[in-house]
Structure 1
Amino acid sequence: MTKIITAITLFICSLLSAQTQFEQGMGKAFGLWKEGKNTEASAMFERIASADKTSYLPNYYVALVNTTSAFAEKDKSKVDLLLTKAQDVLDVEFIKDQNNSELYVLQALLYTAWVVQDPMTNAQKYSGKIMENYAKAKTLNPNNPRAVFGEADYQLGGAKWTGVDTKPLCAQVDKAVELFATFKPETPFSPKWGLERALEAQKNCKK
């Protein structure tokens, strides 16, 4: 009986230790990202992902870091590398779970990065996929502020070319801002980004 209790205690301790290592690693990776060390942050998230196959978050942040980096990158070959890496790890998480609203939001954002890189070539190719992914994200979680805002923001970005009425889109931006106020992330590391961009879009809507 003592052996069983000892074994259980050791198992619980190992779980707590693993959890602590995960939290420490994630904290360090976020710190690097905040410092603008995107490559180092991505590498740290990758290491965490290889050590912990249970959480989607490390690979999610590998994809998010590389996708957001691509928006600011001017070198086409570097953009290709960043977005390919992002897509590879996102595909890994989609295989595990096709019902995660956040993954579809990120997939839409990744496709948007391709459009921004080369609008003339990629807008027609990816616009439909972007809207499909936001629609799926909203179906899975209608209260996901990133899904509501992302869908409206993408359409607002193209409004001057498509000529769509922006009032309903601006109403969706307002809704997203309200959702951000009540949104509660599942864990300390769960996605909670997007409010600043939504507030900026809200200001532009009122101009």
Structure 2
Amino acid sequence: MKHLIIITVLFVTGILSAQSSYDKGMEKAFELWKNNQWDEAEQLFERIAAAEPNAWLPNYYIAQMNSLKSWEEKDADKLKAQLEKAQNFLNDAMAIEKYNADLLVMQAQVLTNWVAFDGMTYGMKYSAKISDLYEKAFAMAPENPMVVLARAEWNMGSAKYFGQDTKPFCKDVEKAIELFANFKPETAFYPNWGQKHAESVLKSCND
């Protein structure tokens, strides 16, 4: 379960001719993140979120960063703190943006972190909910490659866990790769991750 979801960090390129403080802050946060300055990037996202109460994206990225960090965290207390922080900021994002497939995917990923941390405790509690979140996200945005990829990986992981064939879901990974080819995020800061990982997953399908 731990390696079910691997996320490629979004790096925003291009400088807008007339930047707002929000634009400048977001670009700086992504630059810090790209340079592996996770703490500084997360703190900047937090400042942007506080200054821009109607912007869901800073909250989304704080949730994503804490979700990502939890995969490699061995200290249970730190991991729980990270996932609780992720959930709190995700709740804030969802309060701003009520119908958003990217947020549903992020919610599924945070819950998957809990399952990966303690499958005995959280597997029964969250597995059905995770599947439901992916189905809702797919119904909302069937052409979003991140939705298609994350849903496919969850289904593959579930099939593997129950000793079932994962091959039927490889076609969904192929579909995600096709969608990535023409995918254009709504803005420069919108989620745009997973293309290279999708190609890696497909390669493992064909091995």
TM-score normalised by the chain length of structure 2: 0.87
Structure 1: stretches of 5+ with no match in the other structure: 1-15
Matches within 5 A, 1:1-207: 19-207=19-207
Tell me how many residue pairs correspond in the alignment: 191
| CA deviation after TM superposition for structure 1 residue 190, in Å | 0.5
Q: Which residue of structure 2 lines up, in the alignment, with residue 10 of structure 1? A: none
Provide the C-alpha distance between the structure 2 equivalents of 1:92 and 1:161, rounded to a whole number of angstroms.
33
What is the CA RMSD across the aligned residues, in angstroms? 1.6
Task: Look up the SS of the partner of 1:158 in the other structure.
Answer: helix
Would the aligned equivalents of 1:38 and 1:69 in 2 still touch at CA under 8 Å?
no
Greater relative CO (CA pairs within 8 A, separation 6+): 2
What residue identity is the alignment partner of 1:105? V
Partner deviation per Cα, 1:164-206 (whole Å, 9 max, x = no partner): 3322211111111111111110001100011122111111101
More helix by share: 1
Provide the C-alpha distance between the structure 2 equivalents of 1:35 and 1:78, rounded to a whole number of angstroms.
23
Task: Look up the SS of the partner of 2:53 in the other structure.
Answer: coil
Provide the C-alpha distance between the structure 2 equivalents of 1:197 and 1:204, rounded to a whole number of angstroms.
11
Structure index of larger Rg:
1
| CA deviation after TM superposition for structure 1 residue 20, in Å | 2.0
Would the aligned equivalents of 1:170 and 1:202 in 2 still touch at CA under 8 Å?
yes
Would the aligned equivalents of 1:59 and 1:90 in 2 still touch at CA under 8 Å?
yes
Provide the C-alpha distance between the structure 2 equivalents of 1:47 and 1:61, rounded to a whole number of angstroms.
12
Partner deviation per Cα, 1:126-146 (whole Å, 9 max, x = no partner): 111111111111111111111
What residue identity is the alignment partner of 1:52? E
Would the aligned equivalents of 2:56 and 2:92 in 1 still touch at CA under 8 Å?
no
Task: Look up the SS of the partner of 1:98 in the other structure.
Answer: coil
